[in-house]
Structure 1
Amino acid sequence: MCKPSLIDAHIHLDLYEKEEREKILKELDLYSVESLITVSFHLQSSKQNLAFAKGDGRIKAAAGFHPEQELPSDSEVDELLAFIRKNHKDLVAIGEVGLPYYKMKEDPSLILAPYIEMLERFIIESNRLNKPIILHGVYEHAPIICDLLEKHSISKAHFHWFKGDSKTIERMIRNGYLVSVTPDVLYEKEIQQLVRAYPIQGLMVETDGPWRFEGVFQERMTHPGMMHRSIEKVAELKSMSEAAVYKQLVKNTTEFYDL
């Protein structure tokens, strides 16, 4: 029986090997995957993802600078923002942007202020262009990002693979921000708790591929088809029918990204 359709709200399509990417695109219909929101690491990544989107209508590109890397120069940020302005009609969002939580865990001497300044530039641009923003912000960095979003009156914010405290989760729910969960919802208690706490109208599913998962997904290439298992788990955690969850999550993603 054909599965109901779903949308991968966060994938790094350009980071897959060419053969893997071709396999995924060939199998989207087989797994009832309507669309892929492919996010970017930097300018070159943004250009590559936009090229994919122009070649396949199921691919929706976002342009941004992933924070878990060395800071770019001001001129590099200027160039990326110019690219976003020039191509904003062909982009569904600005992202992935945020703060370097894991990089700071590895190097506590890293100074956060320049990353906050860079993120604010992307937030200002998302406001100016009226584009959703896709955020990498977890634990103690999430309230900092919420402060910036509130400062600039941003409502269309998507925190992907979110992890954080209950107070921040409540704040995000009040502000109407969306969160997406990966296949680790099958085995991570923290993510399961997030799903229980968050209203179904604020949830999406993602893979964050090519990042790999554990449990039943151990040593398997991350494929958008895995999200069907995520939906099953979300339905169980929310005490809802799978059909209702599929319908609501596609609605959430379609409306948020104006697909």
Structure 2
Amino acid sequence: MNTPIRLIDTHLHLASMQFDGDRSDVVARAFDAGVAALIEIGYDLASSHAAVALANAHPAIFAVVGIQPNHLHDLPADWIEQVRTLASHPKVVAIGEIGLDYYWMKSPPSEQEAAFRAQLALAGELGLPVVIHSRDAMAETIAVLRDAARGPGVMHSFSGDWAAAQACLELGFYLSFSGPLTFPKSTALHEVARQAPSDRILIETDSPYLSPHPHRGQRNEPSRLIYIGQKLAELREQSLAELAPQLWQNALNAFPRLAAALGDGK
């Protein structure tokens, strides 16, 4: 590693076909950039299996398994049992990404909510945190989480305003910032980043999506986590070197199985 800064990319999709040609190089570049651990996120059964396979193959990669609201069609009848079985793997650190998506609306809201609640219940049963996907459905997502009393967990690629952020924080969730934090017009998000408690913030790339400035529109990769960390530090009037240890500890606190595997990271 060529930098003393250690970061954890708390959300990416390294199993994506967009990395089929250079996956090993992408991982190597991440490590060289100071990204010392990666959390691979499932969004359907196939990607959840792939996440576990990647975690098996790489000591510094961990997995999250679950069914995202845009992938509820054609699920087998035993899908929740399959997620439960995958979650028994020791390197699975959370259930996710799960939630509501009213932008694409690929399944009716009632079906999305039913799958969301089923996976929240599974996470509670297994004692695992959850990784939440919410798009154009923040109020509805918060209502379900408030009713289900589910925390801790992570609000993936948080995009709400300060009022939504406060509601998520009150429920015990961490706010995870991604590439849009670096966009000049993301002023409401900048305000959230300034005000959020230092012990409840995380960073992620969501690779291969949401590439940060100055690489916006390109395939994203975990080595670019540094840009998001730098922007978050700038907004909080810190250096990344000052902020990085807090971000590391926050990730360990958010994902207890990750903490058990990494310890203090030294």
> TM-score when scaled to structure 1?
0.89
Query: Is the aligned partner of 1:142 residue 2:138?
Result: yes
Corresponding pairs, count: 253
Which of 153, 157, 160 lines up with 1:157 in the alignment? 153
Aligned match of 1:27? 29
Check conservation: 2:178, 2:203, Cα contact below 8 A: yes
Aligned match of 1:230? 228
1:57-116 Cα distance to aligned partner (Å, 9 max, x none): 11100111121235344615334334335x243311111111122213xx7xx5201110
Q: Secondary structure at the match of 2:21?
A: helix
**For residues 112 and 72 of structure 1, what CA distance do their matches in structure 2 show?**
16
Q: Compute the displacement of 1:130 (Å).
A: 0.6
Aligned match of 1:77? 79
**For residues 179 and 72 of structure 1, what CA distance do their matches in structure 2 show?**
31
**For residues 212 and 164 of structure 2, what CA distance do their matches in structure 1 show?**
27
**For residues 95 and 46 of structure 2, what CA distance do their matches in structure 1 show?**
14
Q: Which amino acid aligns with 2:70?
A: E
**For residues 210 and 151 of structure 2, what CA distance do their matches in structure 1 show?**
30
5+ residue gaps, structure 2, are 259-266
Check conservation: 2:152, 2:171, Cα contact below 8 A: no
1:170-217 Cα distance to aligned partner (Å, 9 max, x none): 111222211111122111323222212322211111000111436410
Which of 107, 112, 129 lines up with 1:132 in the alignment? 129
Aligned match of 1:205? 203
**For residues 73 and 219 of structure 1, what CA distance do their matches in structure 2 show?**
32
Which of 112, 117, 123 lines up with 2:114 in the alignment? 117
Check conservation: 1:127, 1:152, Cα contact below 8 A: no
Q: Compute the displacement of 1:44 (Å).
A: 1.3
RMSD: 2.1
Query: Is the aligned partner of 1:254 residue 2:249?
Result: no
Q: Which amino acid aligns with 1:120?
A: R
Which of 61, 67, 70 lines up with 1:68 in the alignment? 70
Q: Which amino acid aligns with 2:140?
A: I
Which of 149, 173, 180 lines up with 1:177 in the alignment? 173
Which of 51, 54, 72 lines up with 1:52 in the alignment? 54
**For residues 250 and 173 of structure 1, what CA distance do their matches in structure 2 show?**
19
Q: Secondary structure at the match of 1:89?
A: coil
Check conservation: 2:212, 2:228, Cα contact below 8 A: no
**For residues 125 and 72 of structure 2, what CA distance do their matches in structure 1 show?**
26
**For residues 19 and 122 of structure 1, what CA distance do their matches in structure 2 show?**
33
**How much identity, in percent, do the aligned residues show?**
23
1:10-65 Cα distance to aligned partner (Å, 9 max, x none): 00111132223211122232111111111012111111110110111111001111
1:186/1:20 CA distance change after superposition, 3 Å: same
**For residues 214 and 28 of structure 1, what CA distance do their matches in structure 2 show?**
15
5+ residue gaps, structure 1, are none
**For residues 98 and 5 of structure 2, what CA distance do their matches in structure 1 show?**
31
1:120/1:74 CA distance change after superposition, 3 Å: farther
1:63/1:206 CA distance change after superposition, 3 Å: same
**For residues 66 and 58 of structure 2, what CA distance do their matches in structure 1 show?**
20
**For residues 29 and 40 of structure 1, what CA distance do their matches in structure 2 show?**
22
Structure with the higher helix share, 1 or 2: 1
